[in-house]
Chains A and B, each alone.
Chain A
Amino acid sequence: MPALTDLILAAEGVDNHLPWPRAVVTSKEWSFAVEQLAEGHWSLLGLWGEPGTVHMALLDEAVWDIGVVSLLCPDGRYPSVGLLHPPALRLERAVADLFGLLPQGAPDTRRWLDHGHWGVSFPLSARVQTAAAAAPPYQFLPVEGESLHQIPVGPVHAGIIEPGHFRFTASGETVVRLEEGLGYTHKGMEGLMAGSDIDHAAKLAGRTSGDSTVAYALAFCRAVEAALGIEVPARAVWLRALMAELERLANHLGDIGAICNDAAFALMHAHCGVLRERVLRASDAAFGHRLMRDRVVPGGVAIDLNDEGTTAIRSLIAEIRQRFPALVELYDNTASLQDRTVATGRLRVELARQYRAGGYVGRASGRDFDARRSLAYPPYDALNFNVPLLQEGDVNARVWIRIHEVEQSLSLVEQILRQLPGGPIRVDFARTGGPHEGMALVEGFRGDILAWLRIGKSGLIERCHLRDPSWFQWPLLEAAIEGNIVADFPLCNKSFNCSYSGHDL
């Protein structure tokens, strides 16, 4: 079996693509890569378009090689990846909507992000068409059988959550099929980034998904820094990790409570909500913003940590360490709660592997991947932590992964505070003309976030693609809910906690 490196070396390499290589391949080599994906030798990290070109980021987990293959498609067509490798299907539909590039042989060619309201077709392609043709009504997949009924839900949901559409087909109380309709929060992020300067694009990146603002800014900045060869000061690197871990803590604590709340166990929600609020206030005290938005910037961080901030974080860690174990015990010893979470919404290990599910979704179903460890970007190469792993794949397992990750993050924050180096927090860099290409993979609380970008001759962002972990988790929710009762959907959904905004971009 040839390695990914061999394929990339054999093809026509692209200069200035860092830190991993990119190569322009022939359609035969493209198809070979697709076969490797379908056979499970490689994993798909992302698939995105550009006028006349389609790119695919690949991971060879046997040797931890990462590479990008690009196929020129002057006639607007390319061999479908989704035909043999279903995780690519929605990515291909998005590429078709934005760039008008058509995957040949794709089993699903329905629109995805384009709902027919933009007033343009293929907005990011070279041939933008105004006065778009009226969109035909969206056809949900057919379901056949006796006494089946459909329950349409959304896009506006009955809580404080993001918009999306769920189409349930149920037999009595049992869900036989769930089909998702997304794209409602599509803001045209990639279009806005094209042509903008690096600082503005970093702001946009930090607004891709509100709960992962640190992780997105970090992914974007690391890609810029890789492209331009910028050396970030050590203190900034450690402060970034500190923010990332605080963000992870806040989200996990919120999720653990919210999942229990969906099982009508409000006590956990109340207590976890208090701990989450404490994290946000400590973040505010330390970095001047509750969510730490716009604090990770190209070249470093925007604000230094002072003694007051350090004290706030230290007392936060002490409080969580004191209060959290009682909550874990409560979760573990409440039969009525376990009755709802154990064996509910089970995601099979094979599916998690095929879709390379990231974060707690993957790790609760036996997929042992964490970008912080597997790619060991700094400062995680100098920190001690475990990546929890479970095989059950049910709601309970996803709660437990979060619980373990809270404990790991507490330890990481302490280690970072102990070892935090001094020195400058940001480095100025020259706005050199491109083309320079960079890529980064960063572990957000939800899973690995991919950022790929090209800085053009003018020093502006020419093209940027951000891939949310949810692209590979949303389809798995459809699978996990099958055979469960409708009333358990909130539990399943919350335990996945996929991003709408990050996915819709």
Chain B
Amino acid sequence: MRKLLFESLIRPPLTERPPRVSDAAVDELARALNGVAHRRLGRSLSIRAVDAGSCNGCELEMHALNNAFYDIERFGIRFVASPRHADVLLVTGPVTKNMRDALKRTYDATPNPKWVVALGDCALNGGCFAGSYAVVGGVSEALPVDLHIPGCPPPPIEILKGLLALLEGVNSRAAIARA
């Protein structure tokens, strides 16, 4: 173990430069965030991931955000265990009918101000599962959605771009409010 730890002292970090925030995501964000109480967030963002029926692909890429390459916590973004600690619900999947209640209850347990980010193609409109007897459809069928990050699944860098856009939107609005 000492050898591994020593190596990490002398090797450069694997962590990569932050991605440029995509303009489309900022635009979508600007529309979505209508300037309510963003000041309270400061420079941190706590995310509660909710799988509302995904195939688990989006979750795998969400996990990847925590690895040494993306190291999402350096942006002040972290995944939390309880909706009560969360600012953002990151929801995946074509919401299944069996998960709709649990998703709503998770949303209700999240304190205001809160945002919902729908992650992945299924979360937009059900994707290839749309029309099934067991599926509600996109996340917006169950909750008000503030931002959608497309992809099947979106690669970590795209998730990161979306989340940074969310943060930047929140912070710039807070700056405007302060000025």
- A43-51, A156-164, A341-349 - the one binding chain B: A156-164
A210/B98 in contact, CB under 8 A: no
A203/B98 in contact, CB under 8 A: no
A188/B134 in contact, CB under 8 A: yes
Q: By CB atoms of chain B within 10 A, which of A200, A276, A290, A330 has the most? A: A290
Task: Return A420 CB to nearest CB of chain B, in Å.
Answer: 27
A185/B99 in contact, CB under 8 A: yes
A274/B68 in contact, CB under 8 A: yes
**Is A40 part of the contact surface with B, judged by Cβ < 8 Å?**
no
Please measure, in the bound complex, the distance between the C-alpha atom of A98 and the C-alpha atom of B101, giving whole angstroms: 21
Q: By CB atoms of chain A within 10 A, which of B96, B132, B153 has the most? A: B96
Please measure, in the bound complex, the distance between the C-alpha atom of A109 and the C-alpha atom of B144, giving whole angstroms: 38
**Is B34 part of the contact surface with A, judged by Cβ < 8 Å?**
no
Return chain A residues, CB-CB under 8 Å to B162.
Answer: none
Please measure, in the bound complex, the distance between the C-alpha atom of A161 and the C-alpha atom of B98, giving whole angstroms: 16
A156/B96 in contact, CB under 8 A: no
**Is B20 part of the contact surface with A, judged by Cβ < 8 Å?**
no
**Is B53 part of the contact surface with A, judged by Cβ < 8 Å?**
yes
The proximity string for A residues 491-505 relative to B, scoring 1 for CB distances below 8 Å and 0 otherwise, is: 000000001110000
Return chain A residues, CB-CB under 8 Å to B99.
Answer: 155, 163, 184-185
Closest-by-CB residue of A relative to B109 is A156
A210/B134 in contact, CB under 8 A: no
**Is A115 part of the contact surface with B, judged by Cβ < 8 Å?**
yes
Please measure, in the bound complex, the distance between the C-alpha atom of A43 and the C-alpha atom of B3, giving whole angstroms: 48
Check A187/B94 contact, CB under 8 A, given A159-B81, A163-B51, A210-B55.
yes
The proximity string for B residues 127-163 relative to A, scoring 1 for CB distances below 8 Å and 0 otherwise, is: 0110111110000000000000000110100000000
Q: Which of A161, A183, A326, A334 contacts B51 (CB 8 A)?
A: A161
B56/A499 in contact, CB under 8 A: yes
B133/A210 in contact, CB under 8 A: no
**Is A120 part of the contact surface with B, judged by Cβ < 8 Å?**
yes
**Is B64 part of the contact surface with A, judged by Cβ < 8 Å?**
yes
**Is A207 part of the contact surface with B, judged by Cβ < 8 Å?**
yes
The proximity string for B residues 7-37 relative to A, scoring 1 for CB distances below 8 Å and 0 otherwise, is: 0000000100000000000000000000000
Q: Which of B49, B54, B100, B129 contacts A188 (CB 8 A)?
A: B129
**Is B112 part of the contact surface with A, judged by Cβ < 8 Å?**
no
B98/A183 in contact, CB under 8 A: yes
Chain A: interface residue total (CB-CB under 8 A)? 53
Return chain A residues, CB-CB under 8 Å to B133.
Answer: 118-120, 123, 188, 191
Return chain B residues, CB-CB under 8 Å to A271.
Answer: 4
A161/B68 in contact, CB under 8 A: no
Please measure, in the bound complex, the distance between the C-alpha atom of A160 and the C-alpha atom of B132, giving whole angstroms: 25
**Is B172 part of the contact surface with A, judged by Cβ < 8 Å?**
no
A156/B102 in contact, CB under 8 A: yes
Task: Return B54 CB to nearest CB of chain A, in Å.
Answer: 7
Please measure, in the bound complex, the distance between the C-alpha atom of A188 and the C-alpha atom of B69, giving whole angstroms: 36
A277/B64 in contact, CB under 8 A: yes
Task: Return A307 CB to nearest CB of chain B, in Å.
Answer: 23
**Is B111 part of the contact surface with A, judged by Cβ < 8 Å?**
no
* Interface residues, chain B, with chain A CB atoms under 8 Å away: 1, 3-5, 14, 49-64, 66-69, 79, 81-83, 93-94, 96-103, 106, 128-129, 131-135, 152-153, 155
Given A280-B64, A330-B1; 17 other pairs, CB 8 A cutoff: A119-B133, A160-B62, A187-B132, A188-B129, A191-B134, A207-B152, A209-B55, A210-B54, A210-B56, A210-B59, A211-B56, A211-B57, A277-B69, A284-B155, A291-B153, A293-B57, A327-B4
Minimum-distance CB pairs A-B, first 4: A210-B57, A188-B132, A210-B56, A188-B134
* Interface residues, chain A, with chain B CB atoms under 8 Å away: 115, 117-120, 123, 155-156, 158-163, 183-189, 191-192, 200, 203-204, 207-211, 213, 254, 267, 270-271, 273-274, 276-277, 280, 284, 290-291, 293, 326-327, 330, 333-334, 499-501
17 sample A-B contacts, Cβ–Cβ < 8 Å, listed by A number: A117-B97, A117-B100, A118-B133, A156-B103, A185-B99, A186-B98, A186-B134, A187-B53, A187-B134, A187-B135, A210-B59, A267-B5, A276-B64, A277-B67, A290-B155, A326-B3, A500-B56
